[in-house]
A and B are shown apart, each in its own frame.
Chain A
C-alpha cells in the first residue's frame, strides 16, 4: 500500500495536491533514477529541483573542482566550496535539501569509453554539459540505450532545449547532424552567459524530467524550445524525426560511440 511518513506528506504536499502528479506521481518520483551530466550552470539548478522534488536517486557526473568563476551561475556551489570537487559539493547540497535522496556521484568526464556504463540503469538523463562533442555523445548513447533525455544549451542571453524520446521523437542529431567546426561557436567562458539564463534553462530541464517521470502533461519531444532573455522571447519550433538520421533512423550509420572531437581534429589534418 502507498504510504508516506507525516514529514514526507508535508514535504511533497504541493506535488500531491496537483491533479496530474498526486500521490501516485510523487511515488513515481521517489522510485525514479535521474542522471545529471555536468554539475555546472544547467546541472546545478536541475539537481536542486530534482532533489527538492524527491527523486529517489540522483546521479551526478563531473570531473571538475569548483572555481570562483563558477559561482555567478552554478548555484549548487558556495564560496566555501572553491577547490572542492563539484560532485562532492553537489552531493552535500542535495543531501541538505532532501535527505531522502540517494546521490550517486561520478567523478569523471563522460566519453565514448565510459558513457554507457555511467548512464546504464537511469530512467532519465539531463545533459548539462558545455561542449558540442559531449552533447552529441550523450545523444548517441541515450538513443542507443533508449534512455530519454533532456538536451540543453545556453550562451550569452540565449537558451535552447529539447527532450528526446529515443526512436519515438526527433533526436539532437536529427536536427543538428554533427558538431560545428571547432572554435566556430564560442563557449560561455569566451562569450559569457547571464547566470539567471542558466537557471532558467536548467530549471526547464528539471521540469521535463519531473513531467516525464510522473507522466504529467507532454514533454518537449519533437520540439525545440529557444529563448532570448534580452527581449524575453520564447519560441517553440516543431521538429520531426529525420528518416536519414545517422543514429536514430532505421538504418543508422553510427552504430558505436565515438568521441566527436577526434573526428573534427582528424578532418582538419
Chain B
C-alpha cells in the first residue's frame, strides 16, 4: 500500500513540487524510488535520519 499512498499524495501536489516520503528500512525503500522513477518522477534525495529514510520525489 505504500506506493498507492505515495501516488495519491503525488496527485495532490503541483507539477514541479516535491514530496518528502518517510520510509522505514525494507522493501518499500527499494520499490518506492524505483516505481516513482518508472512513472516519470525524479527522485532527488534519499537520506537516513534516525530510524527513517527521507525519499524526496519531485513531481
Contacts and interface: CB of A to CB of B under 8 A. Distances in A.
Interface of A: 1-4, 9-10, 13, 16-17, 19, 22-24
Interface stretch (B7-15, B22-30, B42-50, B51-59): B7-15
Given A23-B11, A24-B11, A9 B4 contact: yes
A16 B39 contact: no
Contacts of B3: 17
A22 B7 contact: yes
B33 to A, nearest CB: 15
Nearest to B39: A19
Contact of B11 (A13, A17, A22): A22
Rank and list the top 9 A-B pairs by shortest CB-CB distance, nearest first: A23-B11, A13-B4, A16-B4, A2-B11, A1-B12, A19-B39, A16-B7, A23-B8, A23-B7
Nearest to B4: A13
Interface of B: 1, 3-5, 7-8, 10-12, 38-39
Nearest to B35: A17
B8 A4 contact: yes
A22 B10 CA distance: 11
Instruction: Count chain A CB atoms within 10 A of each CB in B4, B12, B38, B39 and give the residue with the most.
Output: B4
Contact of A19 (B4, B8, B12, B38): B38
Contacts of B8: 2-4, 9, 16, 23
B43 to A, nearest CB: 16
B52 to A, nearest CB: 22
Given A1-B12, A2-B11, A22-B11, A9 B5 contact: yes
11 contacts: A2-B11, A4-B8, A9-B1, A9-B4, A9-B5, A9-B8, A16-B7, A17-B7, A19-B38, A23-B7, A24-B11
